Chain A
Amino acid sequence: MQSDDVARTVAAQIGERFLGLEPFPRTAGRLRFRSEAALPLFHTVKEQLGFHHLSMVGGIDWVTHREVFYVVWSDDRRQYLLLSADLPAAAPHIESAASVWPAANWHERETWELVDIQFDHHPDLRHLLLPDGYEAHPLLRSFQLHEPEELEVKQRSV
């Protein structure tokens, strides 16, 4: 019942850039949208639907493309809503949510450095967990882990 309301409101606001609301157990659903509609969607979800609390921002590397997802919570509905958008694997970028939910600031910094997703108009996009100047993005699938002994052997042979 409530989920219909979410789909209707979002569809009215962002039109065909809304790609559907998939059912997700024990939440209001998983809302798929096109990345260019990010900012109007965030405003709709926060101001019209009442999801005032941003809990988490994360990214997934699907090799062919990247996915960025947001988890928001509404105190009135007592429900989570998952927002997710697909981004191209080459130069993935999306509008920052920090102007809508200030809580997104650190989460986006973390997602940027670990999954390499650029957040446009982010107030302060710099390294958070990794040292300054670290260039790799460890949570990409192409990033391999090694046993330390293995690395030493490699360094010696080079």
Chain B
Amino acid sequence: MSAPPAPPMPRTAGSAAEAYRLEGELPMVEQPAVPFVEIETVRAREFIPAAKEAFGALIAEQGQAKLIRPTFNWAGRNSLFPLHWGLACCAIEFASAFSARWDSERFGIVPRSSPRQCDLMIVNGTVTWKVAHKLITLYEQMPEPKWVIAMGNCATGGGPFRTAYSVVPGVDKLVPVDVYIAGCPPRPEAMIDGILRLEELIRERRE
């Protein structure tokens, strides 16, 4: 099989800015310029002593017991790793949320393929009885602390398929759910909003 050679470059060079200019028919709101924050860069081997010093000072000031949980929650909620798996329609919007337009990685959300690396399970689609025990296995393999988001109407309550013989009417019959996102399917904005709501829940987490 001899595929043709690579063609020459197109007339216009592509850039994301140009792609979005196409939808510029609608009046766009002028965004104020965001001031650039200078960040002091430290080398990896300098980071740990610097962090130790800073935390030592904080612990001396506030006490260890008071500080550990908020620090832990702060780190946890800013690096949520959802499980990378697609159940149904919502999985496509889940994937869209990681594309250039929405870019969920801004919020520290990076999908991982192994449940042992994840702390968030986004149930993005219809759950059938055939996959129910596999879903529970995956949930059990995730390390604590872990959260579950039911994305879309099917995961919330069966959606349009609630009367079907093979569909679990809501994933909360199987695993505890923290946040429900409505929509069929929810837009990527809604998914990001759901994750931000979950971050609020994590902020208040004690125990």
Interface residues of A (CB under 8 A from B): 130-131, 136, 138, 143, 145-148
User: Which of B129, B130, B163 touches A146 (beta carbons < 8 Å)?
Assistant: B163
* A4–B132 alpha-carbon span in the complex (Å): 53
Q: Report the minimal beta-carbon distance from A91 to chain B, rounded to whole angstroms.
A: 23
Interface residues in B162-176 by Cβ distance below 8 A to A read 162-166, 169-170
Interface residues of B (CB under 8 A from A): 129-130, 158, 162-166, 169-170
Q: Are B130 and A148 in contact (CB under 8 A)?
A: no
A-B contact pairs, 19 of them (CB 8 A): A130-B130, A130-B166, A131-B129, A131-B130, A136-B165, A138-B165, A138-B166, A143-B165, A145-B163, A145-B164, A145-B165, A146-B163, A147-B162, A147-B163, A148-B158, A148-B162, A148-B163, A148-B169, A148-B170
Q: Report the minimal beta-carbon distance from B60 to chain A, rounded to whole angstroms.
A: 56
- Chain B neighbourhood of A147, CB < 8 A: 162-163
* A145–B167 alpha-carbon span in the complex (Å): 11
What is the predominant secondary structure among interface residues of chain A facing chain B?
Answer: loop
Chain A to chain B: the 7 pairs with minimum beta-carbon distance, closest first: A148-B169, A145-B163, A131-B130, A138-B165, A148-B162, A147-B163, A148-B158
Closest A residue to B169 by CB, please name it: A148
- Chain A neighbourhood of B129, CB < 8 A: 131
* A17–B161 alpha-carbon span in the complex (Å): 42
- Chain B neighbourhood of A143, CB < 8 A: 165
Q: Report the minimal beta-carbon distance from B172 to chain A, rounded to whole angstroms.
A: 12
Closest B residue to A127 by CB, please name it: B130
Counting chain B CB atoms within 10 Å of each CB, the highest count among A138, A146, A147, A148 belongs to A148
- Chain A neighbourhood of B158, CB < 8 A: 148
* A25–B159 alpha-carbon span in the complex (Å): 36
* A54–B130 alpha-carbon span in the complex (Å): 29
Closest A residue to B167 by CB, please name it: A148
Q: Report the minimal beta-carbon distance from B23 to chain A, rounded to whole angstroms.
A: 40
- Chain A neighbourhood of B169, CB < 8 A: 148
Q: Report the minimal beta-carbon distance from B155 to chain A, rounded to whole angstroms.
A: 14
Q: Report the minimal beta-carbon distance from B132 to chain A, rounded to whole angstroms.
A: 10
- Chain A neighbourhood of B163, CB < 8 A: 145-148
Q: Report the minimal beta-carbon distance from A137 to chain B, rounded to whole angstroms.
A: 11
- Chain B neighbourhood of A145, CB < 8 A: 163-165
Closest A residue to B130 by CB, please name it: A131
* A147–B165 alpha-carbon span in the complex (Å): 10
